[in-house]
């Protein structure tokens, strides 16, 4: 099996943060264009800073990087670069996270970033044949009232948005804090996902399912610590958006060889493979497929099942409840 065989599998990417696709080269271009000062001398210095010890050590740098994004064209350029790269990996459909609070808190309005995203998404649909939708994420380290205010402010800008999600620092910020924002989102017709069980304990996954009503769990790798939870996820066929190279980069696991993915598959869980923040973690979705196939010795049939899972787990394929 070659990397080209893996590329040829039609797949969906369901766990990628658009701000996490900002490559250092584009970061420098935008910083120069917008007169933003970066705490790094050059592209090599940026790459050297990408040595993370945990989720928080990454987030500190990730939010800093996003500060170079200012204009509608900046957001369009970021999205266009991701969609080009994803299409080259055989992605036919992407459901893409964005963090509105990261931008609104800097005084950038919804019409600026949503307009830029949509320009590039429409262009990629026409020219590359890749479809995409957006998932609006609440930053869980900010107050729950801020999440409610964010969904209220987003209400007039929801074209292209399929769902809400929950990201940023997990431990200490459990899902149930965000019931109000999720209820509001549901009334606006949006679906729901949440990051849970990346660094946080299995009971955060229960709360995401029961209190937030999520239809997919992002990461979810710690579910294996709770057999009853595994049974529920299996029985209800809840998709888990697993990000293997991210989990190594953020030290959720020491090495890919130690990743629970084979156990998750053996337990009958509905897993998909995704990149998370590819510019920061050293690999797009194709790199994640290739690394998984090589590390676990999985053949093309097994990899095709994982690709098929991603299409089936997409909101495009799953009609609303």
Q: Which residues are catalytic?
A: 198
Q: Is the CB of 99 or the CB of 276 nearer to Zn ion?
A: 276
CA 237/CA 262 separation, integer angstroms? 17
Tokens of 147: 């999440």
**In angstroms, what is the minimal distance from the CB of 297 to ligand HPA?**
27
User: Angle at the Cα of 24 (from 88 to 295), degrees rounded to 5?
Assistant: 55
User: Between residue 241 and residue 280, which ones bind Zn ion under the rule CB under 5 A?
Assistant: 276
**Residue 30 interacting entry, from ligand HPA, Zn ion, none, C-beta within 5 to 8 Å by type:** none
**Residue 72 interacting entry, from Zn ion, ligand HPA, none, C-beta within 5 to 8 Å by type:** none
Q: Is the CB of 62 or the CB of 298 nearer to ligand HPA?
A: 62
Strand order in the sheet with 270-273: 11-13, 91-98, 131-139, 161-167, 191-196, 216-219, 239-242, 270-273
Q: Is the CB of 92 or the CB of 209 nearer to ligand HPA?
A: 209
CA 252/CA 3 separation, integer angstroms? 26
Beta partners for residue 163, in sequence order: 135, 191
**Residue 95 interacting entry, from Zn ion, ligand HPA, none, C-beta within 5 to 8 Å by type:** none
CA 170/CA 197 separation, integer angstroms? 8
DSSP classification of residue 188: T
DSSP run (H or E) holding 239: strand 239-242
Q: Coil, strand, or helix at residue 5?
A: helix
Nearest residue (beta carbon) to Zn ion: 276
**Residue 55 interacting entry, from Zn ion, ligand HPA, none, C-beta within 5 to 8 Å by type:** ligand HPA
Q: Is the CB of 95 or the CB of 276 nearer to ligand HPA?
A: 276
Nearest residue (beta carbon) to ligand HPA: 167
What is the contact surface with ligand HPA in residues (CB under 6 A)? 17, 20, 55, 167-168, 195, 198, 246, 276-277
**In angstroms, what is the minimal distance from the CB of 2 to ligand HPA?**
29
Contacts to Zn ion by CB under 5 A: 276
């Amino acid at each position: 099996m070659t990397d080209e065989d893996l590329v040829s599998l039609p797949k969906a990417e369901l766990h990628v943060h658009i701000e996490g696709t900002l490559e250092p080269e584009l970061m420098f271009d935008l910083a120069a264009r917008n007169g933003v000062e970066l705490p790094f001398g050059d592209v090599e210095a940026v790459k050297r800073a990408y040595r993370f010890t945990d989720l928080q050590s990454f987030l500190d740098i990730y939010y800093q990087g996003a500060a170079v994004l200012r204009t509608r064209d900046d957001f369009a350029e970021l999205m266009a670069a991701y969609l080009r790269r994803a299409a080259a990996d055989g992605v036919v459909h992407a459901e893409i996270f964005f963090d509105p609070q990261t931008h609104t808190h800097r005084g950038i309005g919804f019409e600026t970033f949503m307009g830029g995203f949509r320009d590039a998404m429409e262009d990629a649909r026409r020219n590359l044949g890749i479809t995409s939708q957006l998932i609006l994420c609440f930053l869980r380290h900010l107050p729950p009232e801020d999440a409610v205010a964010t969904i209220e402010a987003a209400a007039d800008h929801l074209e292209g948005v399929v769902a809400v999600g929950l990201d940023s620092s997990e431990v200490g910020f459990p899902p149930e804090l965000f019931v109000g924002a999720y209820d509001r989102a549901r009334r606006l017709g949006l679906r729901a996902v949440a990051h849970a069980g990346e660094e946080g304990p299995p009971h955060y996954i229960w709360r995401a399912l029961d209190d937030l009503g999520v239809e997919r769990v992002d990461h979810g790798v710690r579910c294996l610590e709770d057999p009853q939870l595994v049974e529920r996820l299996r029985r209800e066929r809840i998709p888990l958006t697993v990000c293997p190279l991210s989990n190594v980069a953020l030290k959720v696991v020491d090495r890919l060889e130690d990743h629970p993915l084979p156990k998750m598959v053996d337990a009958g869980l509905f897993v998909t493979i995704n990149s998370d923040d590819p510019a920061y973690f050293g690999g797009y979705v194709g790199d994640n497929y290739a690394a998984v196939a090589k590390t676990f010795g999985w053949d093309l049939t097994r990899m095709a099942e994982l690709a098929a899972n991603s299409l089936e787990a997409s909101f495009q394929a799953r009609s609303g409840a």
